[in-house]
Amino acid sequence: MSDDAPSDAERKMQFLFQLRQKGVTDARVLTAMEEIDRGAFVRGHFAARAYDDMPLPINAGQTISQPSVVGLMTQALNVQPRDTVLEIGTGSGYQAAILSHLARRVYTIDRHRNLTRDAELAFTKLGLANITVLTGDGSYGLPDQGPFDRILLTAAAEDPPGPLLKQLKPGGIMVLPVGQSDNVQMLIKVTRTESGLDYDELMPVRFVPLMEGIARD
Ligand code: SAH
Q: Which atom of ligand 1 is nearest to the CA of 89?
A: 11
Q: Which amino acid is at 42?
A: V
pLDDT in tens, 127-147: 999 999 999 999 999 999 999
Whether 217 maps to a domain, the answer reads no
Ligand 1, atom 14: nearest CA belongs to which residue?
89
Ligand 1 neighbours (beta carbon < 6 A): 62-65, 88-89, 91-92, 94-95, 109-112, 115, 137-139, 154-155, 208, 210-211
Whether 211 maps to a domain, the answer reads no
Whether 54 maps to a domain, the answer reads yes
Q: Which of 59, 98, 205, 208 to mutate to test the pocket of ligand 1 (most atoms within 8 A of CB)?
A: 208
- CATH number, domain of 157, equals 3.40.50.150
User: Distance, CA 89 to ligand 1 centroid (Å)?
Assistant: 3
172-184 in b/e form (b: 16+ CB < 10 A) is bbbbbbbbebeee
**What are the counts of helices (DSSP H) followed by strands (DSSP E) for the chain?**
6, 9
Specify whether the CB–CB gap between 154 and 65 falls below 8 A.
Answer: yes
- What is the overall mean pLDDT for the chain? 94
Whether 213 maps to a domain, the answer reads no
Number of domain units in the chain: 1
Whether 141 maps to a domain, the answer reads yes
pLDDT at 68 over 90: yes
pLDDT at 196 over 80: yes
Whether 70 maps to a domain, the answer reads yes
Segment holding 97, helix H or strand E = helix 94-102
Whether 3 maps to a domain, the answer reads no
Whether 34 maps to a domain, the answer reads yes
- Largest CA-CA distance found in the chain, in angstroms, rounded: 61
Ligand 1, atom 19: nearest CA belongs to which residue?
210
pLDDT in tens, 15-52: 999 999 999 999 999 999 999 999 999 988 888 899 99
Q: Which amino acid is at 57?
A: P
Give the number of C-alpha atoms closer than 13 A to the C-alpha of residue 205, restricted to the C-beta side. Answer: 28
**Domain range enclosing 166:** 8-205
